[in-house]
A = this chain, B = another copy of it.
Amino acid sequence: MPTGEIHSASQPPSATDSSAYEDDAWIWAQIKAEARRDAESEPALASYLYSTILAHPSLERSLSFHLGNKLCSSTLLSTLLYDLFINAFASDPSLRAAAVADLRAARERDPACASYSHCLLNYKGYLAVQAQRVSNRLWQQSRRPLALALQSRIADVFAVEIHPAAKIGKGILLDHATGVVVGETAVIGNNVSILHQVTLGGTGKVSGDRHPKIGDGVLIGAGATILGNVKIGEGAKIGAGSVVLIDVPPWTTAVGNPARLVGGKEKPKKHE
């Protein structure tokens, strides 16, 4: 099935809370080691790696600094955004856990992902998702104008538009990411892989709950368009360029325009 450059999530992480915390610490230590190694081998990047990674005591700080710099504008200052991200991460530990799970997802499923720091610094899909989770928090706190301003900056800077109200799980890989659009009432499960130019949109016929619900472990190929309040079951795969207007059962593949179901099995070890 055509999907773009994604390997399936072979082993969903199932760590306990304390080992998860150790895992987070281990990944941050890895990122710093990678940055130190790269700064040494490439002096032209030393100052960049220092300011984005090595100067920070934690992944959350590094991410907040990097997002603040990427998303700021002449009227939305980087310091304001930096504070906003710092505070969100400090108040809601699930944001850090999700950020770590997404790093692992990129490393495991994208053969072009060279290192954790590569993803943290360079993957605009990764950065867009982290920023969206913060905008979702603002939305739930009824700070909607700020959530929408953040959505707009993400759309301008990364060409990725995810409504702040959309619910996104952990272990998400948004690969390449350009042109991804996710509507207000969409829900994305855990360990989902989404390629570039994927739309989770409405049909234009209804208001209210009008966007797709994507199950755990789903893989959506490049340029696929899924419209309406349809349900894409756990482990399903959506072919590149498909236009999907129907429910897709778990562990089933849909392809074509309009999409038809072409396969499915009880519980394949790997998407193929």
Contacts and interface: CB of A to CB of B under 8 A. Distances in A.
Contacts of A183: 5, 112
A74 B257 CA distance: 43
Size bracket, chain A contacts:
35 or more
B241 A4 contact: no
Interface stretch (A13-21, A88-96, A151-159): A151-159
A56 interface: no
A122 interface: yes
Task: Among A45, A195, A211, A257, find the residue whose CB has the most chain B CB atoms closer than 10 A.
Answer: A257
The main secondary structure of chain A at its interface with chain B is loop
Nearest to A83: B44
Contacts of A137: none
Contact of A223 (B3, B52, B197): B197
B149 A45 contact: yes
Interface string A193-211: 0011101011111010011
Contacts of A111: 184, 202, 207, 210
Contacts of A6: 202, 204
A29 interface: no
A144 B219 CA distance: 29
Given A73-B69, A157-B156, A3 B204 contact: yes
A234 interface: no
A5 B207 CA distance: 9
Interface in A26-53: 38, 41-42, 44-45, 47-48, 51-52
Contact of A239 (B181, B195, B201, B243): B243
15 contacts: A4-B199, A5-B204, A8-B204, A44-B84, A69-B74, A114-B144, A114-B148, A122-B152, A123-B152, A124-B152, A178-B181, A179-B196, A179-B197, A204-B221, A223-B223
